[in-house]
Structure 1
Amino acid sequence: MPDDVFRDHTGVHPQRQAGLYSVGVSVLNGRLSGQTLLALADLVETHAGGELRTTVNQNFLIPGVPEASLTVVLDWLKTLGLHVEANNFWRGTVACTGTEFCKLAITETKGFARWLAEEMDARLPGFDQQLKLHITGCPNNCGQAWIGDIGLEGKKIKHNGKLVDAWYFALGGALGQHAGFARQINYRCRSEEVPDALEHLFRAYLDQREDGQNLRAWFAAHSNEELREILEAVPIPA
């Protein structure tokens, strides 16, 4: 059982079979068009083993790529706008279907997740900690918020007399040797406030972490009250 190992299979990795590689591709929100899927089918049939595998992180894996075909495969994926080497916000974000197609959902998730991942990468370029940012649009938890480093569960709150999308935060979920559910810390905010809250949290982590301390361990070293105070900090100036 892994010890705090984040394995999303993204990137190029040698297989046990000599001369063959797997190529893991990060797909934010797991959404691909029909045209892209057809192009991928042509790609794997022509330059790989004819197989395409999906992952629990809403990404996909192309196994059985001969070493001689790696450059062609990587160039083809780049042409399709797909990321083999993605930033940690892009590769670590998972979202359920949300209100767009689910009658049980409370909040919109897919567009929010894309906006949030892009916003966080713009604010914290080069963020060096692998993370699992799981977004779910209702308590049914199809986005698996309870096992993310950061889990966001969609709710509605009143703002200026209107119901708006909001998010309850849970922190510190994990799999592997330190498996455990994320902790509810009694903090919620509107969608547009989430980037500020996460920026406060990530900057505090980067400033305070010890050598080799990952997000799970850093969260575990802080009380709910301490984490809530960080999230509730004065808004960051524009």
Structure 2
Amino acid sequence: MLLRRLFLATLALLMSAAVPAADQYDVEIIVYASLDPDTGEEYWPALQSGPDLASAWYFDHTPALQPLPRKAYRLDAITGALARSRQYRPLLHFAWRQPGWERNAALPVRINIPLGSALPVYPESHPLRAPGTVTAPSGLASESAFRGEMQLLEGTLMVYRSRYLHLVADLVYQERLGPSADSSPYGEDGGIVYQPIRLQQSRRMRSNELHYLDHPRLGVIARITPVEATEASEDKTEETPDSSPTE
């Protein structure tokens, strides 16, 4: 009996190793802010540097990052629930398709939402395309790219595959505090002081599951789906016969 179990376990391992990993993945992301975080008297220092924006890519910099249409989104119900909540504010909801890169080949996606944008931002209203003055990544130091016009949300998201899928997030959210004060260490725009909140995390993920990156002020909800699974689900839906009564 023991030998049989060992044989079956070995056979299952060999079969799973023989199945090729997906070449393409659909990545869907929701970024949200907490409106009433329970952080007590916690102090958030002013940032001395920011995410490495100079090495990140807008969608129109490379065909390897393909933005998905809204009809392909699967997390609209979650965005709607966040928008109706008094505790959270959805900032960004978007999705893209990319290869299953290894870490040293992965391309970070660049995020930037200007202050005053209608929230949540979808690709139709702000398609995360490069402004006319921005060029492709040049490898410059992160500080040189970060110190510019203040953005409500700015940073990078990167997905890569090793033994598991991984999501790496480095985001800065400007939380509104109120009218400016001479003693404030934070940045301001139009006489309003904003406190920078940075979320910098890496998370191991499983495909087809929801994952969360937690922070007292800022959060990310992510789902990564192998393209084969996505297309199989769509094909099955299209092939389902119409069960409505006929005359």
TM-score bucket (shorter structure) = under 0.3
Give the structure with higher Rg (CA).
Answer: 2
TM-score by length of 2: 0.25
TM-score, normalised by the number of residues in structure 1: 0.26
More strand by share: 2
